[in-house]
Structure 1
Amino acid sequence: MTIGIAGITAAYVLIALLLLSINLYSNWSWQIKAGTVILASVFYVITYMSFPPLLGWPTNESPPRQFRLIATHVQQPDKQAGDKGAVYIWLSVIADMKTSSPPRAYKLPYSDGLHELVIHAKAKLDKGIAQLGEFEESSGPPIQVKYGSRTVTVPINIHIYDLPDPLFPDK
């Protein structure tokens, strides 16, 4: 148990004791007492739902428009367990080509095309070839991506490509 978990537990116990003392020993009306209990309960739920992003769990939000691919992981679907699968990507937002943000994990719905796209990008990352990408919100049809002689269908509009070589000025 870390100090963070112990601290949060202690805070919840303290709030529960305060609520108990308000309900048992105050002369406030029952409406105010019920309101404090409801407000504290809502606070518990909001706090509980706020923890996953703080702990670094993958987000279901859309990836940034331009990004640098840091890492990938593919969880294939399992029909026996009823798992639909997912594609996890760690991205760093690119504001300009000089700076990037700390990486963030994103969870995308699994598809064969996205799986193949991510596997090819990971193979290049493993070879030391940096990967950039672009994401566009699209409600249109899936896009077609070519890999050599093969074409795969990706359900979301995401493109991953090699980081271009820097252009050095002539001497």
Structure 2
Amino acid sequence: MMELPIAGAIALFLALVVLLLSLNLTSLWKWWIKAGAIVLTLSGIVVLYFVFTGVIGWASTGAMPERFSLLATRIVEPDKMTGAPGHIYLWIEEVDDRQIVIGPPRAFEVPYQVE
């Protein structure tokens, strides 16, 4: 299932590159249209960055499954010297009501909070 987001991201990038090249190399359009195409292409690259961070294994900050099996944890405590916040990293597998794994392992990041 991971192939679809990667293929979509690559297709988006290629479409933006072709658009930019066609507008800036062969058209007689005004400079502000060409500048808009450059801004659109750069925006697409930023979108691709966020798409790929969700695909290539970075820990997700999204909602975790309701039922899961915990595989591993890593706790990064807040740094008082630099003021960096702490995080808890969880590697989990989603399970059903009978504790049968129904999805591949995923990494999640939750904020470190002292209660």
Which structure 1 segments of 5+ residues have no match? Answer: 1-7, 113-152, 154-171
Partner SS, residue 72 of structure 2? strand
One-letter amino acid of the counterpart of residue 100, structure 1: I
Answer 1 or 2: which has greater helix percent: 2
TM-score between both structures, scaled by the size of structure 2: 0.71
Kindly state the Cα deviation for residue 29 of structure 1 after the two structures are TM-superposed. Answer: 3.8
Cα deviation 1:43-85 (Å, max 9, x = unaligned): 1110112121111111111211111111111111110021221
Whether 1:94 aligns to 2:95 is: yes
Answer 1 or 2: which has greater strand percent: 1
Q: Runs ≥4 in structure 1, deviation > 4 angstroms?
A: none
Cα deviation 1:79-101 (Å, max 9, x = unaligned): 00212211111111113423331
TM-score between both structures, scaled by the size of structure 1: 0.50
Whether 1:107 aligns to 2:75 is: no
Kindly state the Cα deviation for residue 111 of structure 1 after the two structures are TM-superposed. Answer: 2.5
CA RMSD of aligned residues (A): 2.7
Q: 5 Å matches for 1:1-171?
A: 15=17, 19=20, 22-97=23-98, 98-112=100-114, 153=115
Cα deviation 1:18-48 (Å, max 9, x = unaligned): 7356325422344542332232122111011
Partner SS, residue 68 of structure 1? strand
Partner SS, residue 46 of structure 1? helix
One-letter amino acid of the counterpart of residue 83, structure 2: G
Task: Give the Cα–Cα distance (whole angstroms) in 1 for the partners of residues 73 and 95 of structure 2.
Answer: 18
Aligned pair count? 102
Structure whose alpha-carbon radius of gyration is higher: 1
